[in-house]
Every structure is written in structure tokens, then in C-alpha cells.
Amino acid sequence: MNQTQLMGAAFFVTWLSASLRLAGPVLLAALGETFAEQSGVLNVGIEGTILLGALASFLASYYTGMIWIGVFAAVLVGIAASILLAWFYVTARASQVVAGLVFNVLALGIASAVYRKALGNSSAPESIAVFGTLRIPFISDLPLIGPVLFGQTILFYLTLILVVVAQLVLFRTNFGLALRASGENPAAADSAGISVSRMRYAGTLISGAGAGMAGAYLVLAQVGLFRESIVSGQGFIALGIVIFGRWNPWKAALAALVFGACDALQLSLQIFTLRVPPQLLLALPYVVAIIAVSGLFGGKTAQPAALLVPYVKD
């Protein structure tokens, strides 16, 4: 192989494996958000929930030294935060966009204050141990697909399993049917004996768990430290993925991969000397997300009909 071919091969391996790695957190958040939206709640607050999950996972594994405790702490914090959000969305019938948005500001304040309280104003950020790549004997050594598909962390494989679980729960169980009915036609669901508010609480809590875990993924499998800017819109991108994935976990996984690939481009192109400003590549995933939700690709037919509409029981 000559120089150019080698560079090309190296580029594809790093690009594809970075795509999968970066797709993980947004996919986790999108999976949870799919449940919330199918139940009729647009949870804009996942951006802040991811941030709180990231902080919880960082602090928990910083103090205990155990990575898995970090994951559990993040999920718990995510669920706790979404109990508050669900109360606003469902019980108080507040505007979902407003409550979610204001919650994001609250989460930013809490995360920053708690982090400073815990670790002081040290200028050098503390880093923690992260999940190593899970090496599967023989398969991981295959050329090209080995390092791409089988050189990921255990959280990645867990996320793939959760895609299947989410698909089955949403479309193959009574719970999934009741959840979707609450988002499609709450009045009909109500007269069929389904508690719409319980279903919407459940959907929001599941989205909180997914967002919390996404935060743990960011800290424990990607960065290894906590920054206030660690989420930087990935929760909003997850909202876009849910729409682009037509409220379906399996399609959301494909959509997440597209965004992961855009996100990874700027990392992998660093091996070439390009005359493109780095900001152009950094903005790419957001631009693609805007195009994905711009309405240019299909109408709103797949959207849960009662999304954003509070349900008032007569």
C-alpha cells in the first residue's frame, strides 16, 4: 500500500470507531426521550438532566473509585430530576417547552455550584478512571471491522441492547401500548381505563433515566472529567434524533449514527492538513440536526398526536 492508501484506511478506521463512540450518549438520551414523546411529553429538560447525570457519575466514581457506582448514581439522579420535571409537565400542566427550558438553566446552576462545593476552585480539573475498551478475543483483531465494531466500551454494547429492549417494550408490550395511547389519544386511553398521567410520568421518568445514563457515558467512557460545557447541546441533538428516527428506537439508532459520524469528522480529519476552519466541522452535527427537523423530510405524520398537549380529565 502506498502512503495515500494507508492514510485513507487509517482515516476510515478512526472515523468509524469515533462515530460509534460519539453516537452512544445521544442515542441513550434519544431512547429515553422516545418514551416521553410517545406518552405525549416533549421533555426539553433532558439537556440539563444529562448535565446532572454527568456530574453525579463523576462525583460518585471520584469518591468511591468504582466506575459502575457512577453509572447507577447518574441514572438515579436522572430519575429524581425527571420526577420534578414530570410534576411540572403533567400535574401542574405547565408549558412543557418553558418548564424544560427553565429547568436546563436550573441544572446548569446546580451542577456548577455543586462541583465547586465538592472540588473547590482548583484550576486543573480532576480526572477519573474511565471504562476501557472491551476486547473480545480474535474478533477485535479482525482488520477494519475489528477495531471499529469490537473495540468499544461496555457501555456501547449495553446501549445496543437497550435499543432492542426499548423497541420490544414500546411495540410489543401492554405497557408500550398504553404509553403510546396516552400520547396519541389520551381521552380514548382514559376511557379504556389507562391512567394517562401515570403513563406520562412513566415516560418522563424513563427519559430521565436515559438522559442520566447518557451523562455517565460522556464522563465515564469519553472524557474522564467534568466540565460545565460537557453536554453542549447533545440533549437537543437527541431531541432531533427522536424526530429524525420517527419516534422509533431502531430508527433512532441509525439517526444517532449519522450524527455520530458528523461529530467524529472533525476528530478524524485532523490527520490531514486541511485549510478548512475547525468551526465549520464542529458546527456540522448541529447543521445536520437542523436540516433533519426542518420538515424537509416528510411531515409530522409519525408524531404522537397529543405531543405537548396537557391532558385535563373531565
Binding site for another protein (CB under 8 A): 42, 44, 88, 91-94, 97-99, 101-106, 108-110, 112-113, 116-117, 232-233, 236-237, 239-240, 243, 277, 279-280, 282-283, 286-287, 289-290, 293-296, 299-300
Nearer to another protein, 5 or 121 (CB): 121
Q: Residue 138 CB, nearest distance to another protein (Å)?
A: 42
Give CA–CA dist 67/193, Å, rounded.
42
Cβ 271 to another protein shortest distance, Å: 21
**Residue (165 or 280) nearer to another protein, CB:** 280
Q: How far is the CB of 25 from another protein (least distance, A)?
A: 16
To another protein, the closest distance from the beta carbon of 252 in angstroms equals 15
> CB-wise, 74 or 292, nearer to another protein?
292
Q: Which lies closer to another protein via its Cβ, residue 133 or residue 232?
A: 232
CB of 99: closest distance to another protein in angstroms? 6
Mapping DSSP onto H, E and C, the string for the chain reads: CCHHHHHHHHHHHHHHHHHHHHHHHHHHHHHHHHHHHHCCCCCCCHHHHHHHHHHHHHHHHHHHCCHHHHHHHHHHHHHHHHHHHHHHHHHCCCCHHHHHHHHHHHHHHHHHHHHHHHHCCCCCCCECCCCCECCCCCHHHCCCHHHHHCCCEHHHHHHHHHHHHHHHHHHHCHHHHHHHHHHHCHHHHHHCCCCHHHHHHHHHHHHHHHHHHHHHHHHHHHHCECCCCCCCCHHHHHHHHHHHCCCCHHHHHHHHHHHHHHHHHHHHHHHCCCCCCHHHHHHHHHHHHHHHHCCCCCCCCCCCCCCCCCCCCC
Residue among 60 and 107 whose Cβ is closer to another protein? 107
Q: Which residue, 45 or 151, is less far from another protein as judged by CB? A: 45
Q: Which is nearer to another protein, 105 or 188 (CB)?
A: 105
| Residue 296 CB, nearest approach to another protein (Å) | 5
Q: How far apart are CB 240 and another protein at their closest, in Å? A: 5
